[in-house]
Every structure is written in C-alpha cells, then in structure tokens.
Amino acid sequence: MSCFCDINGLGKTYPTPKGPAVIVKDFDLRIEEGEFICLIGHSGCGKSTVLSMLAGLNPITEGVIILGGKELAGPGPDRGVVFQSPSLLPWLTAYENVMLGAEQVYYTASKLERHQIVEYYLSVVGLADAMHKKPGELSQGMRQRVGIARAFALSPRMLLLDEPFGMLDSLTRYELQQVLIALWNRNSITAVMVTHDVDEALFLADRIVMMTNGPEAEVGDILRVRFPRPRDRKEVLEHPDYYPMREYLIEYLSERSHRRGQFKGEVDIHTQINVARGENVIELMGSRENQGNRVNLDRQGQQASGVISSARQVRPGI
C-alpha cells in the first residue's frame, strides 16, 4: 500500500509569558491509504493537538504534513472531522446540518441528488425517522450519529475523529462504534481517531499509536492490531491476542514515562539498545511481517533487546 499521509517532524509550540511551551515535538507518522489509526495517550498529552493540525484547524509550527502528495494548508472538506462534542448547529435540523456540508462538496449535483446523499447517510447511521428534528430534541448519542453522518456525507479522503464517543455512556458507545465501523467498512476511508479508550482502539484500529506524555509529546510506540476485518466484537474479544495487547496498552498508559532519545538509525533483529535507568521507550517501525512484535525491555538493567526486522527510529535514552 502506498503512503497516503506523511506526518514529518510535526511540532506545536505555543508562546506563553514564561517562554514557548512545546506541546508536540518531532511527531512522525506515515499513514497508508485506507488505514484506521488510533492515537492513544494520557489526556493533555497533545493527541487532539495533532489531530487538529491534521484537520488544519490549528496552524503547524514545525514540520510538515503531506496528504496525497500535497502539503496540507488549512482546513477543508476533504477531511471530515467528527468533534468530541457533536458541534451541530442547534438552529438547524439534523438534515440541514448534514446538508450544510453536502452543499459545499456537491455543488455541481442537483438538488435531488444532494437530498439523496444526505438522506442516505442519515439513514445509514440510523436516523431515518429523526431526520427533521433539531439537535435539542435528540439524545447525545443521536447527535453524535448526526456528526458521523455529516463527516461521511462529505465523502472525505480522510476521516478525523476527536474522541467522538468520549461523552457517551458505554452502551451507546458500543452502538456508535458499530455504526462507525460499518460505515468505514463500506467506504474504507483513511481514518485517524483520538481516544483514550483502550478497548475502542483495539476494536477499531489497524494501528494504535501511543503518544508519550507531554510536553514535547511524540510517538512513543505503535501497536499493530491484526484482527481480521470485518470485525465482530465477540470474535475480537475472544481472539487470543486481545488480552495481551490490551494489557500492553494499559501497562504503557499507566506505567511508562517517556523521554525523547536521540538515537536514529537502522536496527537489526537482535539489536541491543542501551537504555538509561528509567528511560525506556521504543517506537517500532517493523516490516509488515514483523510489525506488532515488541521490543522486550529490561527494566532493571540498562539494556533492551527487541525482535525487529527493521526500524527507522529507535529512541532509547542516553
């Protein structure tokens, strides 16, 4: 698969009275076409900042994002965004909210065609009966369905989801994950989703990008999820890899603290990496066959070894 989106050395610095605050630094990620990426990390680590830079809503201070061969500049309807709060315009009905975007994208289409597109997406997300209600009359879950429909109705090249289910109760969340994945299966749009729900990430993603704690957050580790698609929740839960992966993620989130290392270079399968005490992060960039393998770190000692076919960047501490 080709590289669809290349995020290179992305950084975000905010000027503050106490000097510049570096939120994100040297964030590198290559996303392939049709891939579903989940960004996971502690709250405040800069996941949403990365996403909003991808959406073009937040100016990039350092680095570059190349999308489909072009450098990204500003927001646009080629990237559908689902916000954490649905951000529907409360004075418009669900239908009108979706139509607002559709009118921008399909300006050459006839009125009827646009109507059909909007109606199609709203019914796919299960709102056929509530199409002409105002957001105020809809439940939180239904509003987010409208938000999803609005993003998909743009037929974007890339879908950006910023903790879209963060405000929902777990039952509604499961339902909406199902809705999202069903829509995604049909269209296979490249998607980047920010979440801090480990199960959600495992259920949806092809790769889970774990971010280090901010400030100066970057890519900490990448976990490849190889559950077969289309996925069924039960099958995923019963998969033998599920719990180890889940444990790994949780362990990552709860225990590890990360700092930037300075090592750059190719790594062999049995590369040994020196890691200073208490500093122990490695980003895996293995070949497809070996992706998902983990570097085993010796927490006590100062050495770590991993089973990696190749690595673009391995960053131990000094």
Partner 1 sequence: MNGESFNRFLAFLKTVRLGWLIPFFLLVKGEDPRTQLRAIFAGVVVPILAILVFLTAWEISSKQIVTKFGTVPGPRQVWSAWESLMNEIRMEKIKEADHQRRAREKRMKNIEKYAGVFNELPGDKPDFGDTERNQKALSDLSKTFDEINEMLEVSNAISGVSSEQEAQAVVDQFQFESSKEIAAVLISQLLPKEISYRMREEELNMGERFNPIEGDTEELIASKESLKAKELKLIAAEKADLLIERQRLTSFATREAIDVLNSIPSFTKSILGKLDSTASKVGPRLDGWYASIEASEIATGQKYPNRVRVKMLKKSFEYKPYPGKDTYLNQIATSLKTVFFGFMIASLVAIPIGIVCGLNKTVNNAINPLIQIFKPVSPLAWLPIVMIVVGALYVSDDPMFEISFINSAITVALCSLWPTLVNTAVGVASTDKDFINVARVLKLSWVTKITKVVLPASLPLVFTGLRLSLGVGWMVLIAAEMLAQNPGLGKFVWDMFQNGSSETLSMIMVAVFTIGVIGFALDTVMLSLQQLVSFGEAI
Site of interaction with partner 1 (CB under 8 A)? 55-57, 74-77, 79-81, 83, 85-92, 100-101, 104, 135-136, 143, 154
Residue number with CB closer to partner 1 (154 or 219): 154
CB distance 88 to 127 below 8 Å: no
Alpha carbon 248 to chain centroid, angstroms:
18
Residue number with CB closer to partner 1 (161 or 297): 161
What single DSSP character describes residue 288?
T
In whole angstroms, how far apart are CA 109 and each of 124, 143, 155, 186, 189?
21, 26, 14, 22, 22
Min dist CB 43 to partner 1, Å, is 18
Residue number with CB closer to partner 1 (89 or 276): 89
Q: Which residue, among 219, 216, 192, has the nearest Cα to 206 in the 3D structure? A: 192
Q: Is 170 exposed, middle or buried (0-12, 13-18, 19+ CB in 10 A)?
A: exposed
Question: Cα(190)–Cα(177) distance, rounded to whole angstroms?
Answer: 16
Strand partners, 255: none
What single DSSP character describes residue 217?
B
Min dist CB 101 to partner 1, Å, is 5
Min dist CB 88 to partner 1, Å, is 6
Residue number with CB closer to partner 1 (51 or 314): 51
Residue number with CB closer to partner 1 (111 or 288): 111
Question: Cα(33)–Cα(56) distance, rounded to whole angstroms?
Answer: 19
Min dist CB 75 to partner 1, Å, is 4
Min dist CB 73 to partner 1, Å, is 12
Min dist CB 112 to partner 1, Å, is 21
Residue number with CB closer to partner 1 (154 or 284): 154
